[in-house]
Structure 1
Amino acid sequence: MPSPNIAGTQRGYVIPIGGAEEKLDNPEILAKFVALCGGEDGVITVIPTASQLDDTGARYQKIFDDIGVKKSFSLPITERADAQNPSYVKTLEKSTGIFVTGGNQLRLSTILGGTPIARAIRQLNAQGVHYAGTSAGAAIVSQHMITGGNTGIVPTEDGVNLAPGMGLINTIVVDQHFNQRNRLARLLSAVSYNPFLIGIGLDEDTAAFIDHNNVFTTVGSGAITVVDPSDIEYSSMAEARTGDALTLLNVKLHILASGGRFDISERKAYVK
């Protein structure tokens, strides 16, 4: 469950990004995140744990510096012992924004899960600090995190692999690189397990800016695919055998390009 809000405060934005966001010519998504975090007065902490490249944190610090942020940090968390470091928690507590990079989302869950760093991220977001994550950093915002699955359109009984995520929002399940990697089947498979979940498929260079009211706005050059199973009439998941195609009746699907909005609580899409 998400951390409870502190009385008199609003939860910070939760911003899952579909990966491959524009970083140089027109970094619309990153610039909007920086503006929310206070612009040049913002303090952004980068967590590059999902990546196995040594320079990932420094590269994002340089990107945020070029956008105009005067103060940024990168936490070199590469193993669980690092995520217990009190000094890293203190650095996080200085932040107005937290940015989690792409890579392998299982590195995020296995290294950060249940640690003081993970608890601090959840608590700080509940207190108003904004969270943005790209690719793996987007997948982990869900309570149920997609870690793999089948490509294509038709969902199957074994079409998705799930693991516990960070749970910043517990009513959605997020997939990334969505259109570019043909991932509709695995998102449909994920929501077929439990119609409580809303599936959000993020194209590359596309983000959902989810506000404290659980309404998101699409930002970027692609689109967001929303799979809403709340009115589903029938799912064959319970009877299906391994590898079987699924029957799903009355599943809603929305495609939201830049400016499109969706109310997660009310399960309603809007055009700007």
Structure 2
Amino acid sequence: MPSPTIDGTQRGYVIPIGGAEEKIDNPEILSKFVELCGGKDAVITIIPTASQLDDTGTRYQQIFEEIGVKKAHSLPISERVDAQNEEYVKILEQSTGIFVTGGNQLRLSTILGGTPIAKTIRQLNAQGVHYAGTSAGAAIVSQHMITGGSTGIVPTEDGVNLAPGMGLINTIVLDQHFNQRNRLSRLLSAVSYNPFLIGVGLDEDTAAFITPDNEFTVVGSGAVTVVDPSNIEYSSMAEARTGDALTLLNLKVHILASGARYNITDRKAFTA
């Protein structure tokens, strides 16, 4: 479950990004995130743990500084012991926004899971601090995190690999680089396990700005694909053998471009 909010406060935005967001010419997504976090008064903490490139944190630090934030920190967390560092926790606690980079989401979950850094991220978001994550940083937002699976359109019994995520949102399961990497089949496989989950597929350079009221607006150059299985009439998942294609009847699918909205609680889509 997401961390409980404190009486009188609103949870911060949760902003999963599909990866490869524009960073230089028109950084629309990152600029909107900065604006939410306070604009020129924003203090952004970057967590580059998912990436194995040494310059990922400093690169995003420079990007945010060029956008015009008050301060951007990058926490060099590459091992679990780093995520226990009290000084890093103190830096994180001064943030108005938290940004988690792309890379390998299993690096994120295995290094951060259960540590003071992960607990602080959850607590701060519950207290109103905004969270944005791109690619792997988006995947880990959900309670059930997609870590791999099949490409294509047709879902299969073994078409997706799941692991525990951070659980900032517990009613959706996210996939990223969605159309660019042909990932519809694994998102359909994920929601076929339990119709409680809403599948959200994020194209590159596209984000879902999820408000404290559980409604998101699409921002960016691509689209967000929403798979709503709540009224599904039949799924063959329970009877399927390994590798079998699945039968799924009465799925609802929305394709939402920039400006369109989706209410997660009511499961309703709206035009821009």
- Scaled by the length of structure 1, the TM-score of the pair is 1.00
The aligned counterpart of 1:61 is 61
Work out the percentage of aligned pairs sharing the same amino acid. 84
- The 2-side partners of 1:206 and 1:42 are apart by 22
Aligned Cα RMSD in Å?
0.3
The aligned counterpart of 2:182 is 182
- The 1-side partners of 2:85 and 2:231 are apart by 46
Q: How far off is 1:133 after superposition?
A: 0.1
- The 2-side partners of 1:168 and 1:100 are apart by 13
The aligned counterpart of 2:194 is 194
SS in structure 1 at match of 2:128: coil
The aligned counterpart of 2:124 is 124
**216-225 vs 67-76, which moves further:** 67-76
- The 2-side partners of 1:228 and 1:2 are apart by 21
Post-superposition CA distance 1:155-181 (Å, at most 9, x none): 000000000000000000000000000
The aligned counterpart of 2:205 is 205
Amino acid of the structure 1 residue aligned with 2:153: I
Q: How many residues align?
A: 272
Amino acid of the structure 1 residue aligned with 2:58: A
1:1-272 paired onto structure 2 within 5 Å? 1-272=1-272
Unaligned runs of 5+ in 2: none
Find runs of 4+ consecutive structure 1 residues off by over 3 angstroms.
none
- The 2-side partners of 1:172 and 1:21 are apart by 21
SS in structure 2 at match of 1:15: strand
Amino acid of the structure 1 residue aligned with 2:75: L
- Scaled by the length of structure 2, the TM-score of the pair is 1.00
Q: How far off is 1:207 after superposition?
A: 0.1
Q: How far off is 1:70 after superposition?
A: 2.2
Q: How far off is 1:50 after superposition?
A: 0.1
- The 2-side partners of 1:145 and 1:209 are apart by 18
Post-superposition CA distance 1:126-171 (Å, at most 9, x none): 0000000000000000000000000000000000000000000000
